[in-house]
Amino acid sequence: MTLWMAIVLGVVQGVAEFLPISSSGHLSLLQYFGLEEVDALYNILLHFATLIAVCVVYWHDIVEMILEFFRAIAALASGERTRGNPPEARRLILLLILGTLPLFLVLPFDDLVENLGTSPVFVSAMLLITGCILFLSDRFGGGHKNGRTATVKDVLLVGLAQGMATIPGLSRSGTTISAGMALGFDRNFAVRFSFLLSLPAVFGATLLKVIKVAKAGTFDMELLPMYLTGMVIAGVVGFFSISLVKLLASKGKFGSFAYYCWIAGLAALIGSFLYIPGAVPAVP
């Protein structure tokens, strides 16, 4: 891997991980069309960098949830009962836990889902479907549910959408934010809940991949500068990508990304029928 390639992959990860255009789909298509296969450890580190970007953007929510977690434990230990509705941060902890549960339904099919990414036709079709989901999202938007009023059923359905979005080509952020809007979430809360929901999902997936890489025992110290450069770029680009999603969603223009997904999906679909793997040397 060259430094230039590390930079390109860092930018792609930072943009595609948070903009609703499917990072896994883009990575699969780029590799099919000649991009050098991404090192397993580098892929993990890029995801970790974008995880940090979410923590930076939503640090206030995360700190509040951590504090409320310990306050809840202290209240239980002392036998104190919370009068009325619990603080939003405390309720949000429960909602995030419930929203993460559907991912466990996907775990047994992890290898199958990974294999789907090897088919450019399938990934292209999923990008086209992502475009349709995004196009409809603005039509569904305008609800008023938030962390205090979202129901258990709502967050389980958003979690189910997140589980479906493990399929390469389906955008995680696009699917979960659109699902939240369709269920009546306030636009800003739909974005906020989606990105906070990504924390346990990405952390869990990263941990599983770290275990796999650790068992393989392959790590080249010479690649460390490239790894660190890519991580910094992915984190910084990811920060601004989240900000862009928040801005467009608040203005009711989240569906604008649909046009990109349609163009990219259609171009990749046509290209998959014309391109012959191996006919063009892979990008160094």
Concatenate the DSSP letters of all residues of 262-273 into one string. HHHHHHHHHHHH
Comparing 224 with 238, which gets the higher pLDDT?
Answer: 238
Mean pLDDT value across residues 216-237:
82
- The set of residues, in sequence order, having a beta carbon less than 8 Å from that of 75 and lying 6+ positions away, is 81, 82
> Could you give the CA distance from residue 152 to residue 98 in angstroms, rounded to a whole number?
7
Other beta carbons within 10 Å of 87: 17
pLDDT-derived band at 280 (thresholds 50, 70, 90) equals: very low
pLDDT-derived band at 278 (thresholds 50, 70, 90) equals: low
The predicted pLDDT at position 70 comes to 92
pTM: 0.88
| Per-residue pLDDT tens over the stretch 55-93 | 999 999 999 999 999 988 888 888 776 666 788 999 999
Other beta carbons within 10 Å of 58: 17
The predicted pLDDT at position 82 comes to 61
The predicted pLDDT at position 138 comes to 82
| Per-residue pLDDT tens over the stretch 175-210 | 999 999 999 999 999 999 999 999 988 888 778 777
Mean pLDDT value across residues 231-236:
94
pLDDT-derived band at 41 (thresholds 50, 70, 90) equals: confident
The pair phi, psi for residue 106, each rounded to 5°, is -90, -25
The predicted pLDDT at position 284 comes to 44
| Per-residue pLDDT tens over the stretch 12-38 | 889 988 999 998 888 888 888 877 666
The predicted pLDDT at position 42 comes to 81
Across 233-259, b (16+ Cβ under 10 Å) vs e yields bbbbbbbebbeebbebbeeeebbebbe
> Could you give the CA distance from residue 30 to residue 168 in angstroms, rounded to a whole number?
13
Place of tokens 């009068």: 83
Whether pLDDT at 130 is above 50: yes
The predicted pLDDT at position 28 comes to 85
Ordered by start, the domain boundaries in the chain are 88-275
Mean pLDDT value across residues 32-61:
84
The predicted pLDDT at position 48 comes to 87
C-alpha radius of gyration, the chain, whole number: 20
